[in-house]
Amino acid sequence: MRILISLLFIMCLCVSAFAQKDTPEIIDNRIILTPEISPSAIPNNAAALPITTTLSFTNTNPNSNSFIQEKDAFRVIGDGRIIQAMGIDSRVIVNSSNFSSRNFQLTQNGALEFTLTYLGRPAVFAPGDTISLRLHLVPQLVTGAGNFTFEVISNSLAYNTPKQFVRLTLDLPNALNTSPVQIFRLTPSGTSCVLTIPNENNQQGLFRLPEAHLPFTVDRPSRCLVFATLAVTSNNAVVETYSIAPTIFFDGQPLQSLPPQEVTTAINGLRKNVSGNTVIFVLEPGAHTIELGGRIDRPGACFEYELIVVIF
């Protein structure tokens, strides 16, 4: 009897081992994005504002073979405890064999938030592929550390990337801590519509939003950081498509224009971001104006906007 029990026990062990051996290993082939800021600590020899750093996010899953899809988006929110405003270079740096910087649209949603949206065809987001953006930061007048929030917005199951936090430490010298910073802000009380297409200086379709006009005065030679956000809206159920190239005007002259893009309006009052611009330049003392407009292929579009001017 004991011999029979022993034999049965051995047979059970063998069956169990065989079953374990044949169980396939589950491999996670999703995209795991790991964000990083470099440098992550701003030393006390930083010479001038704004402070420039680079935010990168890399697919760190060596088994990944999943696809980035059209309208996948990546949102970044700065920490208001240590940063007053955050600008982004419009040029996206992409290290990939399957997609390029031309496939992305960058939208600044406010002084501390932006979204990067993929508009290309489905493509493999391969292991090691990296997307990078240069950030221009206007710090709070404090020394300390804060977190940038990184979040993937997607309807697909291709990502295994929860909301993450990236730490940035500012160790600023006294000269920066006491440097005066002025912030001028303009947000709409309603929508501003383009009812006619002007022909300004023989540039057909170049328009200005009359309400998006921000005057300000500086009393010393200064550096200026401009944030501009433009969103197209519709107050009815008609869906329209426009070709729009947002433009920032400085003292009446076009300062920066983005390439035109096809924008289909949202309906029933919903807004759809066109883009965000960030511009840095030098100011002379005196009165100045910043305006927002662009180039459009036909009238009828209505816009919401935000203008933020940081002087330091």
> What confidence tens digit (pLDDT) does each residue in 212-252 have?
888 888 888 877 778 777 777 765 566 777 787 788 888 88
Mean pLDDT of the chain: 77
CA of 273: how far to CAs of 103, 213, 232, 235, 264, in Å?
A: 16, 19, 6, 15, 10
Question: How high is the pLDDT of residue 43?
Answer: 65
- The count of residues in the chain is 312
- For residue 9, what pLDDT is reported? 47
Q: Set out the domains of the chain in order of their start, with CATH numbers.
A: 33-177 (2.60.40.1510), 182-311 (2.60.120)
Neighbours of 96 (CB within 10 A): 18
167: confidence class by pLDDT, cuts 50, 70, 90:
confident
Looking at residue 169, its pLDDT comes to: 81
Taking phi over 0 as left and psi of -120 to 50 as alpha, with beta for the rest, 269 belongs to left
Mean pLDDT of 193-197: 77
Residue 124 CA to chain centroid, in angstroms? 21
pLDDT at residue 63 in the model: 94
Per-residue confidence (pLDDT) for residue 11, from 0 to 100: 53
Q: What is the pLDDT of residue 143?
A: 73
- Bond from prior residue into 39 cis (ω within 30 degrees of 0): yes
SS3 (DSSP) at 193: strand
Name the pTM for this structure.
0.66
Number of H helices, E strands in the chain: 2, 25
Q: Cα(170)–Cα(40) distance, rounded to whole angstroms?
A: 9
What's the confidence (pLDDT) of residue 244? 79
Identify the residue with better confidence: 311 or 49.
311
Using an 8 Å Cβ cutoff, are 168 and 37 in contact? yes
pLDDT tens column, 86-132: 878 777 899 999 999 888 888 777 678 888 999 899 999 999 999 99
| pLDDT for res 4 | 45
